[in-house]
Structure 1
């Protein structure tokens, strides 16, 4: 029963869409109505409000971390085993992808996944984030960096702790993240994906003209 309640609570925490909430607080348009229509930090940034985008990023990461941290913090008190922790990790991530509070229209899960990984283990999170940064810096594609980092995450977990049920949860989470980036994958293959900083470069060119 405790595990069921924890999973439900984690899903509800994940269902808090910071992109929508922060945009409303800042008086911005609903991120589901413009750009990529993805309620995430990258799309919020398209509004031109950097503070809102940063708060969205931090909020989405925080909720992923919080749900896992609480489950681990009270593991002994509520008799949670590794399966319980794995289910909580998946529940908060799925809540972000398909939030009950926002008609099941959620984001792609990059920030929330990062928060979950940090909640499981700080070094797991650091290794995955480092992978994202290296790929992003080398190729200038945020989506490609997210895809490669998500693929490596289960391997990092296996190297650190060996295969177990939490590694399975990380692998499922990675698979869902790749699925949510299907359009980005198509754009990458077609050479249509926007590079990091491309919008700023285009804006500068327009000003020169």
Structure 2
């Protein structure tokens, strides 16, 4: 079991580490880290390379969050700590995106990869969180504010909809990591310097 868990965690981290935004930008002859906000996520890829590659980056980043926990749920033996171990694989995938081994332990802010993880944990919680995201972005004009609101609330949605304590805990840790990674956005929001989505948000 120990070897299987270590392998699952390692593969989850390595999968999450794949910098799809950077790979797609290099295929297009650019380095997304040197343009726009410098982030490798879908928002900046959309800004620098256009909607098609932005959507493709979003899709791939979501899949690299969903796939590790899906595989882990199959290969890890069902037992007392099964939910915790699967949750930790989701956490490892998000850590991979944020601190990619392929990028010198630098990376993105983890929202799309976390979305993939949360989709496996509780699709209905994601649906509710997306409503929150749209509402906050629509009211405030800031994609970063919507991401922070949705990420902060989704662990509680998971718990309210019957998720286990282990899944809630892993989800809460992921949410905290997303907030930490958005510290610069939070600072700009507090100072009134964050750019509205109407002028292409810098999240």
TM-score (norm 2): 0.91
Moved over 2 A (4+): 73-80
Distance 2:78 2:200 in 1: 50
- What stretches of structure 2 of length at least 5 have no aligned partner? none
Distance 2:155 2:78 in 1: 28
Is contact 2:25-2:49 (8 Å) kept? no
Distance 1:93 1:73 in 2: 19
Tell me the CA shift for residue 78 of structure 1: 9.9
Tell me the CA shift for residue 80 of structure 1: 6.9
Question: CA distance change for structure 1 residues 78 and 100 in 2, over 3 Å: closer, same or farther?
Answer: farther
1:23 has 2:25 as partner? yes
Distance 2:70 2:121 in 1: 7
Is contact 2:98-2:110 (8 Å) kept? yes
Distance 1:70 1:40 in 2: 24
1:207 aligned residue: none
48-57 or 73-82: which moved more?
Answer: 73-82
Tell me the CA shift for residue 76 of structure 1: 4.2
Alignment of 1:27-38 (within 5 A): 27=29, 29-38=30-39
Distance 1:87 1:48 in 2: 33
Number of matched pairs: 199
Alignment of 1:43-54 (within 5 A): 43-54=44-55
1:203 aligned residue: none
CA RMSD of the aligned region, Å? Answer: 1.9
Is contact 1:69-1:120 (8 Å) kept? no
101-110 or 160-169: which moved more?
Answer: 160-169
Distance 1:186 1:180 in 2: 12
2:156 aligned residue: 155
Tell me the CA shift for residue 25 of structure 1: 2.0
Tell me the CA shift for residue 124 of structure 1: 2.0
SS in 1 for 2:48: coil
1:113 aligned residue: 114
Alignment of 1:1-209 (within 5 A): 1-27=3-29, 29-76=30-77, 81-162=82-163, 164-199=165-200
Tell me the CA shift for residue 108 of structure 1: 0.4
SS in 2 for 1:47: helix
Distance 1:114 1:91 in 2: 14
SS in 1 for 2:38: coil
Distance 1:170 1:12 in 2: 19
1:206 aligned residue: none
